[in-house]
Amino acid sequence: MSERGAAGPGPAAIQVSRIMRPDDANFAGNVHGGIILKMIEEAGAIISTRHCNSQAGEPCVAALARVERTDFLSPVCIGEVANVSAEITYTSRHSVEVQVNVMSENILTGAKKVTNKATLWYVPLSLKNVNKVVEVPPIQYARKEQEEEGKKRYEEQKLDRLETKQRNGDVIFPIINPDRQTKEPHTVGYSQSSLIHLVGPSDCTLLGFVHGGVTMKLMDEVAGIVAARHCKTNIVTASVDAINFHEKIKKGSVITISGRMTFTSNKSMEIEVFVDADPFVDEARERYRAVSAFFTYVSLSKEGKPLPVPQLLTETEDEKRRFEEGKGRYLQTKAKRQAQLQQAALQ
């Protein structure tokens, strides 16, 4: 890890770099999106925790609360170096916004390309009392507009987190060893998948709760399995909608990560992923929803070219409803991207 001078309004930005190994990638040599998400979160946790402890006060650890939508602009391959740069761009009284850029580097040719851009929100929790949120030291802004823009982003994510939590009563029943021979290919039930993981010490922060990056990596693994079962080709993560961390997951808990297909376009698949926690060390508490997100995948040929995606077959009214909701998100994202391209062309 190295540091460089801040290019924006916040403290000195940091950079985390690592060469991509064979066990970071799928059979086609494309690095799993979850590996990159984990690196992004590690960089964000370092810079936000460092900032929150930069002034005299109660020692704390920054906990991930939310990751805004992030697009995987280009796949990273085995042997390339992923350079993750993070800087703080806004602080409220109790939260920190971190902007992260990921650039892949071919160390043989020197060629570089931007692969990801992400925005993460952290909340500092006291080391003495994990339920206490401590105050965040303010940062200096180069321009007043930067603070106003940051405040607008803060209010928007706060509202979206509330809306997401309100609709989070949905349940995916764990499907560990389903009899897929009884299910029609390309249906929701055929590709639906679950993974069960015991939270160990290596998964956790100093506070004894799961690192956000560990959770995102597991979510990406499950979403990737769902996508691969649906189209039976090489698949890669194209984007992740906002990931909301509703509640902390304690060491010793058993988490169930479940994914199901919600929508398909001609060239993409949307997969809904939930993380539910069973706090075995705290028997008084029942199972609860900890994290939720939508992952989008694309299917690739051996040459890395996009392939058509089989249409999702919906069978129940709930599946049809979720398909229409996914279609709405897809069209909204597509319209937003086209507007950005048109704006860029005019500049």
Residues taking part in catalysis: 26, 220
> Are residues 295 and 273 in contact, defined by beta-carbon separation less than 8 angstroms?
yes
Nearest of 37, 16, 40, 31 to residue 78 by alpha carbon: 31
Q: Per residue in 314-339, is it b (16+ CB within 10 Å) or e — as a string?
A: beeeebeebbebbeeebeebeeeeee
Question: In DSSP terms, which residues pair with 9 in a beta bridge?
Answer: none
Neighbours of 108 (CB within 10 A): 8
> Are residues 118 and 45 in contact, defined by beta-carbon separation less than 8 angstroms?
no
Q: What distance in Å separates the CA atoms of residue 260 and residue 283, rounded to the nearest whole number?
A: 29
